[in-house]
Chains A and B, each alone.
Chain A
Amino acid sequence: MEEYDVPSAASILASVKEQEARFERLTRALEEERRNVSLQLERGSLPSDRLVGGTTGGSNQPLAWQQMVMQEQSPSNQTSMMQEPQEVVEETVTIEEDPGTPTSRVSVVTSEDGTTRRTETKDNVTNMKVTKVVKTITRRTFQPVVLSQSKPSTPIPPSTTSETKPVTKMVKTVTTRTVRQVPMGPDGLPLPEGSSPLGSYTDSIDRRYMKNGERFITPQATSTLTRSYNNYSDSYNDTPDSQFRHYGLHDGYGDMPENYGSLSRGVNYRPYRPYMPTGGYRPENSYTLPIRKEDYGHVAQPQVPMGSSTVDLNRSQPERFQPEPYGLEDDRRSLGPDDEEAYDLEPDYSTANRRTLPGRTIREPLRNGPRVRGYEDPIEAELIDERHPYIHGMYPAPLAQPERGSMASLDRMGGRRSPSIDSIRKDPRWRDPDLPEVIAMLGHPIDPVKSNAAAYLQHLCYENDKIKKDVRQLKGIPVLVSLLDHPKAEVHRKACGALRNISYGKDHDNKVAIKSCDGIPALIRLLRKTNDMEVRELITGTLWNLSSYEPLKMVIINHGLQTMTNEVIIPHSGWEYEPNEDSKPRDAEWTTVFKNTSGCLRNVSSDGAEARRRLRECEGLVDALLHALLSAVGKKDMDNKSVENCVCIMRNLSYHVHKEIPGAEKFQDPSALQGPGSAGTQRKKKDDAGCFGGKKAKEEWFNQGRKNGEHDKNYDTLDLPKRTEPTKGFELLYQPEVVRLYLSLLTESQNYNTLEAAAGALQNLSAGQWTWSNYIRATVRKEKGLPILVELLRSDSDKVVRAVAIALRNLSIDRRNKDLIGSYAMRDLVSNLPSGQQRPAKNLEEDTVVAILNTIHEIITDSSENARSLITAQAIDKLVAINRTSQSARETKAASHVLQTVWSYKELRNGLTKDGWNKTHFQPTATGTPKGSKSCKPGYDDTTLPLMEKNQECLIFHPHFSADGYSTIDQRDKDSKYKSSDGSSDLQEREPLKNDTNRKHYIRSNRPTVSLVDACDVKPQPVDSWV
C-alpha cells in the first residue's frame, strides 16, 4: 500500500504530448467557436423574453453546441455548466483568487438585453477579506433579487431558498447565452491576460486546488477555465479599470440584479479552500485535495501531476491494471469503472468527458439524496470525476469514492439546505462551523442538519488523520454510530459515509472507537435492513476497513459473518441453495458490494484457526465463493479485485484443512509412505496410454480437458471416496475438482495477487498427509498442472514465484511429481537463483530464494536423477556462490543443504570432480546445520496473507522410483502452430466454431520421458487461438 505511482518520465512525456494534442483540439474548437459565436451574437440581439423562454425551447440548439464545444475544449476540466441544456447555470461569477496573491474577483453580469458587464477586483486582500466580499455579494443577490440565484463561492452555508429555484432556472439560459457570447470577444481569443488557452484548459481542477492551497500559489494557479472566461468577458466589455474597482462591485451589482454571468461553476468547487476559511481547526493545507499528497505520503495518490493527461494516457494503455496491494481501505477505492468492459466499449473517446459520462450515469443514480436541484448533480459528479482523472484509467486507483460522497454533500450543504447553517450565514459574523459544532449538529433535531453534518464530517475526514482523530476525541463516533439506526435513509447514509472515511487509515484507534460503541452490530443491522445499494456499499466498505485491524476480525465474524454471506456473498455470487434444474446457473456479479464484502471476509479469514473454522462452517459461504470463481473462469473475467478476494479466502480456508476440518482423522493416510508412490507406479502405464501419450496436439489436449468429465472418473487407481450425495460446504475446498479451477486461474489471470493466491491454495491443499492431499497432488499432475506451475516460475512477480515454488515442493511429495518436476522444472528453478551476490534480473527477495532452494532440496532428496538434473542445469556454480558469499544466513543455509545432498550421491561425485569441484565446495561454510531446518518459513507481513508462511510441510518421503514424462513446457516444440492452418491439425478443424474456453497457450505436445529439459530459451512458442 505504500507504493505509489511516481510519475515517470514516460508519463510526463505522455502528459506533454497530451497537452499538445489538447492544444490542437482547442485551437480547432476555438475556430469553431468563433464561427458559432458570430452566429450567436446575432441571436443575442433577440428580445430577452424570448431568450428566457428559450430555456426549454428556442435556445436548445446553441446550448447543445455549447456543450459540444465545452467538451472539446476542456476534456478534463469541464466547467460543466453546459451539461444539459435545461440546466444551464446561473451563477455569479465571483472569482476568488488565492489568498495571498492578488485576489481578483470577476463578476460577469448580464442584463436581459444580452449585454454583459464584468467586474473584476484585484487586491492583496487577505483571505478573510475575500470571504467577506464574496459573502456580501451573495447577500446582495440574494435578498432583493428573486430573479437571480447566486451561488456563493464560499460553498459552506446553503445559500438558496427554495423559492428562488424556479426563477433561477429561467434566468439561467440568458446568462449562459450571454456569457457564451462574451468569449468571442473582438478577437475571439481568450488571451488578454496572457494565459494561453492551453494553460487555461489544461489546468485541471486538481491543479487548481492544489495551487489554491496556501503553499502552492503560482501564477499558473489562476489560469483555469474560469480565468480564461474572465478574459473573455474582459475583452468583451473592455473595462480594464474595473479590475480595480473592488468593492465597488456591489454597486454595479445592484444595478443589474437579474442575471449574473455564470461561468463560476468551477468556482463553486473551490470549496476546499473557502470551506474553512476561518481556520478554526484547520490544520494545514488539509482541506485541499492535492495537498494530501504532502500530508499523506503513504497514500497512493497519483493525483495532480498526472492531471488531466492521465485520462488519455490510460485510455491508450489498456493494461492499466495495477492491483493495489491490498486495498482494505475503502477510501481508496476507485470509482472508476472496475471492469475493463466499461471502458473497453468505447475505445475511441476523444475526450475524457465522454468517457466520464457513461460511467457516471451508471453510478450516479444510486447516490442521490433529495435532489433539490437536479441539475446540480451532474455537475458535482463531473467535477469530482475531473478531480480524479486518473480513476478512469487505473484500476484500483485510490479512492475517490468517499471524496465523492463528501463532495456531493458538501455541495448540497453549500447549496442550501440546512436552515441552521443558513442562519449562520446570516449571522453578520459569518464563519464556518468548527468541528465541535459540526459534531453537535449531528444531534440536531432536524434531520437534514444531521445528514449534512455527517456529510460534512465525511468530507473533512477524507484523508485527514488529524480530523479523524479529533472527531474521535470529540466523541463524534458514537453519535455517528447511533445515526446508523436512524430511519431516514439520508441520515444513515451520510453517517455511514463518515464512518467509512473515519475507519480508513492506519490509525487503529478510530476502528476501535467504532467497535467500542457497538458500531459493528449497528452496521450489520443496517446491512440487513437496507436495500439501498449505495448504503450497502458504504457499510461493506466500512466493514472492510474495520476488518484490516486484527483484534476486530473476530468481532466482525461474530456479528456479521452469516449476514454478509446471506445478504451479499450468496446473492451476488449467483449461487443458489437449490439450483433450479431448468434455469441456467447465474453468473457472479462483480459489484462493489461484493468486492467490499469479499475483501472484508478475506481479511477476517486470516485470523487463525477459529476464524477459518467459522468461515468454513458458515452456511453457503464456500459454495458461493466457489461458484463465483467458477463463473469468473467461465467468463474469463478473473483479473478483478473480487476474484482476487475470493481466491484469497479460498486459499486461507484451505490452509490446514487436513488438520482442522471435522473428521479429518478419518482421512489421515496410514500408509503415507507408500501411498502416493505406489499409486504413482500403477498409474504410470495408464497415463502413458492416456493423457500423457506423446503425440497429442495441443488442441486434442484441450478437447480432452474440456470433456474431461469422463476422464476424470478414471481416477481408478486413486480410489476417490465414493460420494453418495453432492459435496457441499467446506468439503468443496479440497475436492480434486477445485484443482482445475485453480489451474485455470493460474493460466488465465493476469493479477499477481490472484496468481499467488491460486498457487497458494494448491500449496495448502497439497500439503499434509491425508487422503485428500494425495488426490490433489495426483490431480494436479493429471490436469497438466505441473507445466502451468513451472511456467509461472518465470513470472516477474516475486510472490508468485515464491508461492509456486513452495507449491511445487509440496507437490513433489508425490513421487511421480517429484520426478517430473526434477526433470522439467529444474532449469526454471535454478534460473531464479542469484549468481552469488549478483541477483538475476528479477531480483527476488530472500524469502523467495530460500523457498526455491528448499524446493530444489526437496526435489533432489532421494533422487539422484534429479540431483543430476540439478548439476546439468549448472546450478552448482550458483549454489556454491550463494553458500560462500550470500549476505543472507538463511540463503546460505538452504544452499548448503542442497550442496550436501548433492555430494551425498556418490555416483555423481566423479562428474563433479571432473568439473573442478571438490568436497570443500559442498561443505557448509558456517556451522553444520541440521537437516531438519529446511523448513525455514517465509514470512508474510501482509495481513491478508498470513497463512502461507506456515505452510511448508516438512515431509519426508521415500517412495518408489518411477520415471515418467509429462507434457512439458519445452519451448522448442517443433509443432509450429502456424502450420496447423494447412490442415495438419484436423482435430481442431473439426470444431472450428467452438469457443475454446479452456485453452492453455503454453502447453505443447508432450515430450518423451526422462530426457532433461532442453535449454529453456526465452523464445516463446508460437501459439494461435481460435476466437
Chain B
Amino acid sequence: MSFIPGQPVTAVVQRIEIQKLREGDNLILGFSIGGGIDQDASQNPFSEDKADKGIYVTRVSKGGPAEVAGLRIGDKIMQVNGWDMTMVTHDQARKRLTKKKEDVVRLLITRKSLEETVRHSMMQH
C-alpha cells in the first residue's frame, strides 16, 4: 500500500456503506479516524508505510453502524462519498464524514487482508 507521492495508487478497495445512527441530534457512524496530512503519520500504528498520511480507522465501536457495515480497525479510508481522503487534513476528513445532511456514507476502504485475498485468488487462476 505504499505509494510514491504524485503517482497513482493502486489499491484493492472495498465499498462500505454505513447508515448513520441517529441519536437525538447526533448522527453516529461508530468509528474513529486517525491520520491526515496535518498529522504525524509516523505514529500511526496501522499504516505499513509510515509516511502514509492517509485516514485510518482507529477504533470501531461494538455494535455500532460501522461495525455492522463491515468496517474494521486499521482500514484505510480512500474515499468518502466520492471525495478523496488520501490527501486531506484530519479535520477535513472528519467533516466529510459527519455531514449532518447525509444519513449514509459510502466509503471506499482498503486493507491489507483485501490485497492478500486478491493476490491469493489471482495466484489460483
Q: Are A976 and B26 CB-contacts (below 8 A) given A318-B83, A319-B92, A636-B95?
A: no
- Say which residue of A319, A348, A1001 sits within 8 Å of B90 (CB atoms): A1001
Q: Is the CB of A347 within 8 A of B30?
A: no
Q: Is the CB of A995 within 8 A of B39?
A: no
Among A347, A1001, A1027: residue with most chain B CB under 10 A = A1027
**With the chains together, A994 CA to B44 CA distance in Å?**
24
Q: Is the CB of B97 within 8 A of A1027?
A: yes
Q: How far is the CB of B6 from chain A (nearest CB, A)?
A: 13
B 26-73 contacts with A by CB, 8 A: 26-35, 38-40, 43-46, 58-59, 61-62, 64, 73
Give a binary string over B68-97; 1 marks a CB under 8 Å from any A CB, 0 the rest: 000001000000011100000011101111
- Say which residue of A979, A993, A995, A1022 sits within 8 Å of B98 (CB atoms): A995
Known: A1020-B40, A1025-B33. 16 other contacts (CB 8 A): A318-B83, A319-B92, A341-B101, A344-B102, A634-B25, A980-B58, A981-B58, A993-B30, A995-B98, A1001-B90, A1021-B40, A1024-B34, A1024-B35, A1024-B90, A1026-B31, A1026-B32
- A345 CB–B CB distance under 8 Å: yes
A 791-838 contacts with B by CB, 8 A: none
Return chain B residues, CB-CB under 8 Å to A997.
Answer: 26
Q: Are A980 and B59 CB-contacts (below 8 A) given A319-B92, A348-B82, A1001-B90?
A: yes
A 204-262 contacts with B by CB, 8 A: none
Q: Is the CB of B32 within 8 A of A1025?
A: yes
**Cβ-closest 9 pairs across A and B:** A992-B61, A995-B26, A347-B82, A1024-B34, A981-B59, A1027-B97, A1026-B32, A1024-B58, A1025-B94
Return chain A residues, CB-CB under 8 Å to B31.
Answer: 1026-1027
Return chain B residues, CB-CB under 8 Å to A1001.
Answer: 90-91
By secondary structure, the A interface counts as loop
- A577 CB–B CB distance under 8 Å: no
Q: How far is the CB of A1003 from chain B (nearest CB, A)?
A: 14
**With the chains together, A989 CA to B30 CA distance in Å?**
11
A 616-641 contacts with B by CB, 8 A: 634-637
**With the chains together, A1020 CA to B39 CA distance in Å?**
5
Q: Is the CB of B39 within 8 A of A1027?
A: no
Q: How far is the CB of B40 from chain A (nearest CB, A)?
A: 5
* Residue of B with least CB distance to A996: B26
- Say which residue of B30, B46, B98, B101 sits within 8 Å of A992 (CB atoms): B30
- B119 CB–A CB distance under 8 Å: no
**With the chains together, A1020 CA to B44 CA distance in Å?**
12
Return chain A residues, CB-CB under 8 Å to B29.
Answer: 1027
Q: Is the CB of B34 within 8 A of A978?
A: yes
Q: Is the CB of B43 within 8 A of A1022?
A: yes
* Residue of B with least CB distance to A995: B26
Return chain A residues, CB-CB under 8 Å to B98.
Answer: 636, 995, 1027
Return chain A residues, CB-CB under 8 Å to B82.
Answer: 347-348
Q: Are A1022 and B59 CB-contacts (below 8 A) given A636-B98, A994-B28, A1001-B90?
A: no
* Residue of A with least CB distance to B40: A1019
Return chain A residues, CB-CB under 8 Å to B58.
Answer: 977-978, 980-981, 1024
Q: Is the CB of A345 within 8 A of B61?
A: no
Give a binary string over A164-193; 1 marks a CB under 8 Å from any B CB, 0 the rest: 000000000000000000000000000000
**With the chains together, A994 CA to B21 CA distance in Å?**
10
- Say which residue of A319, A341, A1027 sits within 8 Å of B33 (CB atoms): A1027
* Residue of B with least CB distance to A992: B61
Q: Is the CB of B64 within 8 A of A1024?
A: no
- Say which residue of B40, B44, B61, B81 sits within 8 Å of A993 (CB atoms): B61
Q: Is the CB of B40 within 8 A of A345?
A: no
**With the chains together, A347 CA to B80 CA distance in Å?**
10
Q: How far is the CB of A502 from chain B (nearest CB, A)?
A: 37
**With the chains together, A319 CA to B93 CA distance in Å?**
12
* Residue of B with least CB distance to A339: B101
Return chain A residues, CB-CB under 8 Å to B73.
Answer: 981
Q: Is the CB of B43 within 8 A of A995?
A: no
Among A981, A1019, A1022, A1024: residue with most chain B CB under 10 A = A1024
Give a binary string over B1-36; 1 marks a CB under 8 Å from any A CB, 0 the rest: 000000000000000000001010111111111110
Q: Are A341 and B99 CB-contacts (below 8 A) given A978-B45, A981-B32, A993-B23?
A: yes
Q: Is the CB of B23 within 8 A of A345?
A: no
Q: Which residues of A contact B (CB under 8 A)?
A: 318-319, 341, 344-345, 347-348, 634-637, 976-981, 989, 992-995, 997, 1001, 1019-1027
Q: Is the CB of A1022 within 8 A of B91?
A: no
Q: How far is the CB of B46 from chain A (nearest CB, A)?
A: 8
* Residue of B with least CB distance to A979: B45
**With the chains together, A981 CA to B61 CA distance in Å?**
10
**With the chains together, A994 CA to B32 CA distance in Å?**
11
**With the chains together, A1023 CA to B32 CA distance in Å?**
10
Q: Is the CB of B34 within 8 A of A1022?
A: yes
Return chain B residues, CB-CB under 8 Å to A1026.
Answer: 31-32, 59, 61
Return chain A residues, CB-CB under 8 Å to B45.
Answer: 978-979
8 contacts across the A-B interface (CB closer than 8 A): A345-B101, A347-B82, A634-B25, A978-B58, A980-B59, A1022-B35, A1023-B90, A1024-B58
* Residue of B with least CB distance to A993: B28
Q: How far is the CB of A395 from chain B (nearest CB, A)?
A: 15
- Say which residue of B26, B39, B97 sits within 8 Å of A994 (CB atoms): B26
**With the chains together, A1020 CA to B38 CA distance in Å?**
6
Return chain B residues, CB-CB under 8 Å to A634.
Answer: 25
- Say which residue of B39, B91, B97, B102 sits within 8 Å of A345 (CB atoms): B102
**With the chains together, A1026 CA to B58 CA distance in Å?**
9
Q: Is the CB of A1024 within 8 A of B23?
A: no
**With the chains together, A1025 CA to B73 CA distance in Å?**
13
Return chain A residues, CB-CB under 8 Å to B96.
Answer: 318, 344
**With the chains together, A1023 CA to B28 CA distance in Å?**
18
Among A319, A344, A994: residue with most chain B CB under 10 A = A344
* Residue of A with least CB distance to B46: A978
- Say which residue of A344, A980, A993, A1025 sits within 8 Å of B64 (CB atoms): A993
**With the chains together, A1021 CA to B33 CA distance in Å?**
14
**With the chains together, A488 CA to B35 CA distance in Å?**
58
Return chain B residues, CB-CB under 8 Å to A1020.
Answer: 38-40
- Say which residue of B27, B62, B90 sits within 8 Å of A1025 (CB atoms): B90
* Residue of B with least CB distance to A976: B43
**With the chains together, A318 CA to B26 CA distance in Å?**
24
Q: How far is the CB of A988 from chain B (nearest CB, A)?
A: 8
Return chain A residues, CB-CB under 8 Å to B91.
Answer: 1001
* Residue of B with least CB distance to A637: B100
Q: Is the CB of B101 within 8 A of A995?
A: no
Among B38, B46, B59: residue with most chain A CB under 10 A = B59
**With the chains together, A980 CA to B62 CA distance in Å?**
15
Q: How far is the CB of A892 from chain B (nearest CB, A)?
A: 36
* Residue of A with least CB distance to B65: A993
**With the chains together, A634 CA to B25 CA distance in Å?**
9
Q: Are A344 and B32 CB-contacts (below 8 A) given A978-B44, A995-B23, A1021-B40?
A: no
**With the chains together, A1001 CA to B35 CA distance in Å?**
12
- Say which residue of A344, A977, A994 sits within 8 Å of B34 (CB atoms): A977
Q: Is the CB of A318 within 8 A of B100?
A: no
**With the chains together, A1026 CA to B21 CA distance in Å?**
13
